[in-house]
Amino acid sequence: MNRKIYRLLALFSLVTVLFQFSACQGREKPEAGEEAGNHPGNEFKVVGYVTGWRGLDFSTIQAEKLTHINYAFANCVNGEIRFGPEEDTTYDATSNARDLVNLRKLKSKNPNLKILISVGGWSWSKNFSDAALTEESREQFAASAVSFLKKHQLDGVDIDWEYPGQIGDGNVFRAVDKQNFTLLLIKVREYLDIESKKDGKKDPDKYLLTIATAADQRYIDNTELGEAQKYLDFINIMTYDFHTGSSQLTGHLANLYPSDMPGTTNKSVDKAVRIHIDAGIPAEKLVLGVPFYGRIWRGVSPENNGLFQESESGGGSVPFSKIKVDFTEEKGFVKHTDETAAAVFLFNKDSQTFVTFDDLSTLAHKLEYVKENKLGGVMFWEYSHDYNSELLITIHDGLNE
């Protein structure tokens, strides 16, 4: 009896080993359309914003390193999505339509790539409050979203309302934006799901709905994110611009943690993530925003190497590509590290110039943060600002190692 049991156990072990070996062998070679580290088992998103006004040759985009592209921006005019400024009724959208055609061509490199239209942004969020105001206006906006996607053969809509319940760039805003934003998302989700069903689209190919959110408590207080997230595929947090061009005080653009240096505002990526989670959003739905640009101040006091000092100018925007070429050690710029904040900055004592940005080291810290906290992935603004794809390659490799 013991020998029989032993033989049965031995046979079972052999079958188990052979099954495991066969399963491993079956996944050695990626299936068609899969990239190393970018197959269906990898849930990290890499969302790149691409603009229609910087002259980027879209054929050079490394589509295999992206999961989503958000084309920026379409406008909300008279309650509907369209290209062009509100005041220009004769706007020719030919170049925008051509951009979307060229972005769709990137699917030949990455068949799983999703192309979304991003609606709004800082300058074109003026009419969202009106569009969200009534059941009728929400129906109109949702119907236009479906029509726009179908016309341009896109995969989803990204709503970048800056910001519900706040004036932003001179926007119309109301206290009821808080509830109406949720109702608008519910309606758009409803329309997209109906269209997905009609077109036979199922997960992960159904039409997508995402939003971009601000990184501060005011945004949380003026929205119902815990409820709204139920109707969203994921949320891109704009975890950057903690110090902006509107301030003459220098500071970190996108520090991971709060600084302990004098003069800090205590804004940080980690704090932004925490308040989103506290608002009721699952961590896996949060996509962490990183900047492919920096901020520059001039006429800065040399105290503390220019950090948290008053300047003679606001913090203008500067692409990462320009930082790499024009703000080098040979030109008098010295890199400094704020260890507590996991942030770097440059200071030139001779020209009294201060530059804040993400380099490869601070970006690597953020990628580890995404993985450790089981977030949904990384979003960045904006593709054309990169230098020889250094930042994008760092993101791709860091999330897939």
Q: List the catalytic residues.
A: 162
Q: Which residues contact 33 (CB under 8 A, 6 or more apart)?
A: 110, 111, 112
382: cis peptide before it, omega within 30°? yes
Q: At what angle do helices 135-152 and 177-198 cross, to 10 degrees?
A: 40
Dig out the tokens for 41 from the structure: 């088992």
Which residues 6+ apart lie within 8 Å of 330 measured at CB? none
Closest CA to 76 of 204, 154, 184: 184
For residue 108, the SS3 value is helix
Half-sphere exposure in the Cβ direction for 23 (13 Å, CA): 6
Query: Looking at the DSSP assignment, which residues form a beta bridge with residue 117?
Result: 71, 157
Q: Are 163 and 215 in contact (CB under 8 A)?
A: no
Helices (H) and strands (E) in the chain, counts: 11, 14
| DSSP codes joined into one string, 283-314 | GGGEEEEEESEEEEEES---GGGGTT-B-SS-
Which structure tokens are listed for 30?
A: 């990626």
Hunting for tokens 């490394």 — which residue is that?
A: 62
Neighbouring C-beta atoms of residue 226, cutoff 10 Å: 15
Q: If you count them, how many residues does the chain have?
A: 401
Question: Which two three-digit tokens encode residue 7?
Answer: 């033989």
Give the closest residue to 191 by CA, choosing from 175, 207, 212, 215.
Answer: 207
